[in-house]
Amino acid sequence: MKKWIKRIVLGFLGLLLIYALGRFIDVYRGSFYTGNRAPYLMMPAPNAMTLRWQTRQKGQGQIRYGRSLAQLDNSLSETSVAEAHELRLQGLEPGRRYYYQIINKLESGATQTLYSGKTYWFMTSPKTGQAVSVRFAVLGDPGQPGKVQNQVRDALMTWLQENPRPDRGRAYLDLLLTTGDNAYRSGTNKQFQTGFFSPYASILKNVPLWPAYGNHDARRWAFFDIFSLPSKAESGGLASGTEHYYSFDYANAHFIMLDSSASSMAVGSKMLNWLQQDLMASKQKWIIAAFHHPPYSHGSHDSDNRHDSGGRMLDMRKNVLPILEAGGADLVLSGHSHMYERSWLMHCNYGDSSTLQADMLLDKTRGLTQPYKKPGRDGFSGTVYTVIGSSSKHDQGRLDHPAMAVSLAESGSVLVDIANSLMTVRFITKHGQVADQFSIQKTPATGHAMPCAAFN
**φ and ψ at 407, to 5 degrees?**
-140, 125
Of 216, 133, 224, 227, nearest to 177 (Cα)?
A: 227
Question: What is the torsional sign of CA 388, 389, 390, 395?
Answer: negative
Identify the residue with better confidence: 23 or 399. 399
Q: Counting beta carbons within 10 angstroms of the beta carbon of residue 58, is it exposed (0 to 12), middle (13 to 18) or buried (19 or more)? A: middle
**φ and ψ at 452, to 5 degrees?**
-70, -15
| Stretch 395-407: mean pLDDT | 95
pLDDT beyond 50 at 16: no
> In which band, very low, low, confident or very high, does the pLDDT at 31 lie, cut at 50, 70 and 90?
low
Q: What is the pTM of this model?
A: 0.93
- Count the helix, strand and coil residues of the chain and give each as a percent rounded to the nearest 5: 25, 30, 45
pLDDT given at position 7: 58
pLDDT given at position 456: 60
Q: Provide CB contacts within 8 A for 90, sequence distance 6+.
A: 47, 48
CA distance 435 to 412: 9
| Stretch 256-273: mean pLDDT | 98
Give per-residue pLDDT as tens, 34-63: 799 999 999 999 999 999 999 999 999 999
| Stretch 317-337: mean pLDDT | 97
pLDDT given at position 56: 93
| Stretch 328-342: mean pLDDT | 97
Q: Counting beta carbons within 10 angstroms of the beta carbon of residue 148, is it exposed (0 to 12), middle (13 to 18) or buried (19 or more)? A: middle
With beta carbons less than 8 A apart as the criterion, state whether 275 and 316 touch.
Answer: no
Per the prediction, the chain carries an average pLDDT of 92
**φ and ψ at 240, to 5 degrees?**
-100, -20
**φ and ψ at 260, to 5 degrees?**
-95, 0
pLDDT beyond 50 at 320: yes
pLDDT given at position 19: 38
Partners of 228 in the β-ladder: none
Identify the residue with better confidence: 168 or 76. 76
CA distance 442 to 424: 12
pLDDT beyond 50 at 274: yes
Q: What is the DSSP letter of 194?
A: I
Range with lowest mean pLDDT among 28-32, 134-138, 346-350, 440-444: 28-32
CA distance 198 to 208: 16
Q: What is the DSSP letter of 455?
A: G
| Interstrand relation of 286-290 and 331-334 (parallel, antiparallel or unpaired) | parallel
| Stretch 277-290: mean pLDDT | 97
With beta carbons less than 8 A apart as the criterion, state whether 167 and 251 touch.
Answer: no
Type and span of the H or E element at 105: strand 97-106
pLDDT given at position 450: 62
Q: Is 236 helix (H, G, I), strand (E, B) or coil?
A: strand
With beta carbons less than 8 A apart as the criterion, state whether 391 and 142 touch.
Answer: yes
Give per-residue pLDDT as tens, 89-124: 999 999 999 999 999 999 888 899 999 999 999 999
pLDDT beyond 90 at 452: no
pLDDT beyond 60 at 15: no
pLDDT given at position 147: 97
Domains of the chain: 37-121 (2.60.40.10), 134-455 (3.60.21.10)
> From the CB of residue 297, how many other CB atoms can be counted at a distance below 10 Å?
31
pLDDT given at position 369: 73
**φ and ψ at 148, to 5 degrees?**
-60, -45
